Amino acid sequence: MQIICAFYLFFVPLLPKLLPFRNIKFKITFMIGVFDSGYGGLTILNNIRQLLPQFDYIYLGDNARAPYGTRSFDVIYEYTLQAVNYLHQQGCNLIILACNTASAKALRTIQQNNINPNELRVLGVIRPTVEVVPQRTKNKHVGVLATPGTVTSQSYVIELLKQDPSLIITQQACPMWVPLIEAGEHIDSGANYFIEKYLNELLSKDPLIDTIILGCTHYPLIQSKIEAFLSRSNRHISIIAQGEIVANSLEDYLNRHPNIAQRALDQKIHPTLTHSANRSTRTSLANDPSPNSLFLTTESATKFSESASLFLSEPILANHIELHT
């Protein structure tokens, strides 16, 4: 009996470590989290991984509750905070809100009220985007295409005017674009109606616009259709997409905060396996230049994996999670 009891006390606590990987998550001391309401943030992640392949990443898409753009401030804040807390619990010490609506409606409150900057940094995508606008526009007429939530927040207007008070800014809400992209219907010809509809509405408000900000991380997925329409209309307009801009801004941020970057590099070692969620890609060690990424979603893991694989042009194995208060 004593042998059995000793075996039970010793062996049972080890069971979670011996179960298949589908019940295991990995946790590295420093990781970068990328959060979006859906697939759009993959455009940000893709650019960041290309520029900074030495880091590890967790991508979290709250697809089950997308789109965020039509939701209230309180709901967006609550959902975003849930995601931030979850990513921090998984070991992320730096989190990018790769969602303009979350950046507009939740970022500042979370930074001020919910995190300890010595333990966690949370960054958005709006400020890096507006910083490049004064160099891109020639006549100071700037258009912003965004979700209703981002437009209502006036975040782009406020931040753009900080860069240059003389800018003439026109916003256009595009409530149908994110649902079309999330449903995978943006590649169909039927999506052209809504793409052209919102572009016509924007340009009718200000025909002099020479620069357009794609103020939602989903929108680069239809950028080719936007550019095709503008070309057919004989309009020479500069399109600002956020992926490369945010990646460059993050690299600059890490260069300006070398303690964060050095900590990440020094502690990029063999991962410590703990509980829940499984790994989607291979482990990269300190001398492996390829990024190591874990993909999480609140929707069907199969559906997300299939769609994300198309967006990133690489096989993706996502894991389903639940976000709670």
User: Which is catalytic among the residues 5, 92, 99, 174?
Assistant: 99
If you count them, how many residues does the chain have? 325
- Across 235-278, where does the E strand assignment appear? 238-240, 272-273
Out of 5, 92, 174, 216, pick the active-site residue. 216
At residue 188, φ and ψ (nearest 5 deg) are: -80, 155
Distance CA 239, CA 248 (A): 17
Structure tokens at 61: 């898409």
Residue 228, C-beta contacts closer than 8 angstroms, at least 6 positions apart = none
Burial of 72 (C-beta count, 10 Å sphere; 0-12/13-18/19+): exposed
Instruction: Name the 3-class secondary structure at 174.
Output: coil
DSSP letter (8 states) at residue 288: -
Tokens of residue 211, six digits: 């620069």
Is 216 known to be catalytic? yes
Which neighbouring-strand residues pair with 214?
A: 145
Active site residue 174: no
Catalytic residues, by residue number, are 99, 216
